[in-house]
Amino acid sequence: MTDEADCRSAVTRLNDDLDQRVVSNVAQAIWLPSPAPGVDRRMLDRNGGEIGRSTSIVRFAAGAKFGQHAHGGGEEILVLEGVLSDEYGSYPAGSYVRNPPGSAHTPFSRDGCVLFVKLWQFAYGDHATVCIDRRTAQWLPGLVPGLSVMPLHEHAGISTALVRWAPQTRFSQHVHPGGEEILVLDGLFVDEDGEYCPGTWLRNPRWSRHTPFAGPEGALIYVKVGHLGADLLQPPAA
């Protein structure tokens, strides 16, 4: 891990080998400026420059805005803190938003916000616009007692959901043929490889397996499965 004074502000490749397991926690976070004043990013994975596949935590200062821009490969947003706004509405913490390929907007935040953002990670034929408010959406029973699931999106074998774990809930060992990505939102998420506090991002490669459980306070996680190695839209060649 290098310090903020290096050239990572211009990084174009980071954790881009999808066959490798990655764990990024808050203690390792380095915030780097984006092209828009007042908008900083904690990069999680990246393959390409400003137009390319990326996963980031994005932080808007109060009053910050990003100029109007199009998303050739689509954009997925989970609002973690504050309120994100654009010309179509405002999205408070807990909102899940998908802006499909070809969409455009001008995002801003009056009081500041923190977002989880994925770019260029849509499957071909996925043109749905999605906006879900976690505060009002329905939780469904999970596969084991103590587990609740809020489905967010599914297309072409790629599934995204929020999963809520009651304290000490355990899940049996299982395999992810298409990989798994997790962002810990609250509580303590645990498996045989470690303990993961809020803000930790994990990417487990295809055919990985684990036996997860929640700590004594339970856990809330964002989960995406089936997307690693899937046939996704590709950015134009540089």
Residues 150 and 69 in one domain: no
Residues 67 and 29 in one domain: yes
Specify whether the CB–CB gap between 216 and 168 falls below 8 A.
Answer: yes
Task: Judge whether 73 lies within some domain.
Answer: yes
CATH number at residue 12: 2.60.120.10
Residues 30 and 114 in one domain: yes
Task: Judge whether 230 lies within some domain.
Answer: no
Q: According to the model, what pLDDT value does residue 1 have? A: 27
Residues 99 and 24 in one domain: yes
Residues 127 and 182 in one domain: no
Q: Which residues of 22-53 are buried (b: 16+ CB within 10 A; e: fewer)?
A: bebeeeeeeeeebebebbbbbbbbbbbeeebb
Residues 125 and 150 in one domain: no
**Last residue within a domain, chosen from 97, 114, 132:** 132
In SS3 terms, the chain reads as: CCCCCCHHHHCCEECCCCCCCEEECHHHCCCEECCCCCEEEEEEEEEECCCEEEEEEEEECCCCECCCEEECCCEEEEEEEEEEEECCEEEECCEEEEECCCEEECCECCCCEEEEEEECCCECCCCCCEEEECCCCCCEECCCCCEEEEEEEEECCEEEEEEEECCCCECCCEEECCCEEEEEEEEEEEECCEEECCCCEEEECCCEEECCEEEEEEEEEEEEECCCCCCECCCCCC
Is the backbone of residue 143 left (phi > 0), alpha (psi -120 to 50) or beta? Answer: alpha
Which residue, 22, 13, 62, 11, is CA-closest to 179? 22
Residues 52 and 72 in one domain: yes
Residues 44 and 70 in one domain: yes
Q: According to the model, what pLDDT value does residue 49 have? A: 82
**Last residue within a domain, chosen from 108, 132, 156:** 132
State the 10-residue block means of pLDDT for the chain, 238 residues long.
Answer: 38 92 93 96 92 95 95 96 97 98 97 98 96 95 97 97 98 96 98 97 98 97 97 85
Residues 12 and 126 in one domain: yes
Q: Please state the domain count of the chain.
A: 2
Task: Judge whether 232 lies within some domain.
Answer: no
Between CA 4 and CA 23 the distance in angstroms is 19
Q: According to the model, what pLDDT value does residue 10 have? A: 61
Residues 176 and 213 in one domain: yes
**Last residue within a domain, chosen from 74, 100, 132:** 132
* Residue numbers of the domain that contains 34: 7-132
Residues 13 and 119 in one domain: yes
Specify whether the CB–CB gap between 118 and 111 falls below 8 A.
Answer: no
Q: According to the model, what pLDDT value does residue 4 have? A: 33
Residues 203 and 89 in one domain: no
Q: According to the model, what pLDDT value does residue 238 have? A: 60
Task: Judge whether 233 lies within some domain.
Answer: no
